[in-house]
Chains A and B, each alone.
Chain A
């Protein structure tokens, strides 16, 4: 779980953060303006490719993607 959190956090920092802003496991990503609605699509796709899962579109909500911790909970639901 810690590995997964770190992998996702690192991906988000590399992908979306263009200054030295800190991102923690609880930092609000969508409501905090770090990840916009366009970018949610690529984040979902990254998770699906990385963890070989399929997240239904209706589960990939801004709420479910709003922090690293929440994303990990979502991914774990679909991990076999």
Chain B
């Protein structure tokens, strides 16, 4: 047996250290379908508790939408459960290509390739389209999956300060002699809920002949007038070279992702991207579900309109209550608490009040920026949000943070 007591002890020591430092992640078991109201078993073995969920990426409330569930059932019946093959051997069905064409139309790009997840899309895309003679210039707050993809790519890597266009321009000048330059950003940044300045970025990329890449996972389906994403909101549809996105958030919430963009770049992924070449793609029932999601979203903007209205109501409610939130207009609304223990305590007390919202702290966010990240959904009704606001008011009073500034909260609780 290779797994000796010494080896086991070494791992136990690491895990104990994580637990002692308060960094151990613990799952909460949800016994219902994903929705605005869920039934949760927490801690393990505790009786089920019905709570309002304000921390899911279920932005459009489509995760358990009856039409999507029905379409997935039909896809399961017509196309089976799995493919038992990667795409280029015998793992591509008509519905996979149908979905790629629908995404292309929805995002306003030239072509699309599916990946098992957006994590895989970001993990594979850079090495597929860039070489050691090129440079990747990324925002310093891009998602972890992009950082992993960058690490797997032989091109040079540089960063610019978050959303700092002057700094980005300096970097484009610094690397102007490279064969290809690619500027890399999230559309909506997942921790702060702010949006990339894609209009200015597109101008800079044109000026310096650079490719523009955007991960729109926290935007596809609801940002922009018709929900196409951050590029629609910023008025630059057709000017982005690569968009990656996920079907695991607003677009149904199951799994899967894609690279969408210039047809040559998509074809390079089809030839070279390793997560595409060496992994099964999205399972047939999920593909059928995402197709239905796109049909729903292409027929009406009702859901993204409701999400926008809910987001406005939520942001106004928190602000009027006197909590410190990150400004913006996306449904990601961080309630800033700055202190890690305070964030955990508030999260626990909200749960007692029937509100499921998670505290985020270092290393997920920078030291001293602990928060409760709230996420609003079109699945929420106003009464859900009113109840959640009441809970924040009650817990906020308990910790005496209502009407207090960042400085006052830090003085009281530290960072």
Chain A interfacial positions (CB closer than 8 Å to B): 18, 38-39, 41-42, 45-46, 49
Question: Could you mark each residue 149-161 of chain B with 1 if its beta carbon is under 8 Å from any beta carbon of chain A, else 0?
Answer: 0100000111101
Chain B residues with CB under 8 Å of A42's CB are 158-159, 171, 174
CB contact between B161 and one of A18, A38, A41, A45 (< 8 Å): that residue: A18
A44: nearest chain-B partner, CB-CB: B156
Cβ B174 vs Cβ A39 within 8 A: no
Add 6 more A-B contacts to A38-B150, A38-B159, A41-B158 (CB < 8 A). A38-B157, A38-B158, A42-B171, A45-B158, A45-B174, A46-B174
A-B pairs with lowest CB-CB distance, top 8: A42-B158, A38-B157, A41-B156, A41-B157, A45-B174, A41-B158, A38-B159, A49-B174
Q: How far is the CA of A39 from the CA of B159 in the complex (A)?
A: 7
In the docked arrangement, what's the CA distance between A49 and B174, Å? 8
Interface residues of A, dominant DSSP: helix
In angstroms, how far is the closest chain B Cβ from the Cβ of A14?
Answer: 9
Shortest CB distance A18–B (Å): 7
Q: Can you list 10 A-B pairs, Cβ within 8 angstroms, ordered by A?
A: A18-B161, A38-B150, A38-B158, A38-B159, A39-B158, A41-B156, A41-B157, A41-B158, A42-B158, A45-B156
- From residue A21, how far is it (CB to closest CB) to chain B in Å? 13
Tell me if B159 and A45 are in contact (CB < 8 A).
Answer: no
User: With A and B bound together, what is the CA distance between A45 and B173 in angstroms?
Assistant: 12
Nearest A residue to B366 by beta-carbon distance?
A18
Collect the chain A residues with CB atoms within 8 Å of residue B159's CB: 38-39, 42
B175 at interface, CB cutoff 8 A: yes
Q: Shortest distance in angstroms between B271's beta carbon and chain A's nearest beta carbon?
A: 27
CB distance from A52 to the nearest CB of B (A): 13
Q: Which residues of B contact A45 (CB under 8 A)?
A: 156, 158, 174-175
CA distance A72 to B311 in the complex (A): 52
Q: Smallest Cβ distance from B116 to chain A, in angstroms?
A: 26
Residues of A within 8 A of B158 (CB): 38-39, 41-42, 45
- Interfacial chain A residues near B150, Cβ < 8 Å: 38
Shortest Cβ distance from residue B192 to the other chain A in the assembled complex, whole angstroms: 15
In the bound complex, residues from chain A placing their C-beta under 8 Å from that of B175 are 45
CA distance A39 to B158 in the complex (A): 6
Best-surrounded residue of A18, A38, A39, A41 (most CB of chain B within 10 A): A38
In the complex, A45→B158 CA distance in Å? 10
Q: With A and B bound together, what is the CA distance between A38 and B158 in angstroms? A: 7
Q: How far is the CA of A45 from the CA of B159 in the complex (A)?
A: 13
* Chain A residue at minimal CB-CB distance from B173: A49
* Chain B residue nearest in CB terms to A45: B174
With a cutoff of 8 Å between Cβ atoms, the chain B residues found around residue A39 in the complex are 158-159
Q: Please give the distance in Å from B101's CB to the nearest CB on chain A.
A: 37
In the bound assembly, the distance between CA atoms of A49 and B135 in angstroms comes to 15
Given the complex, which residues of B lie within 8 Å of A49, measured CB to CB?
174
Q: How many Å lie between the Cα of A41 and that of B174 in the bound state?
A: 12
How many Å from the CB of B213 to the closest CB on chain A?
A: 17
CA distance A38 to B184 in the complex (A): 15
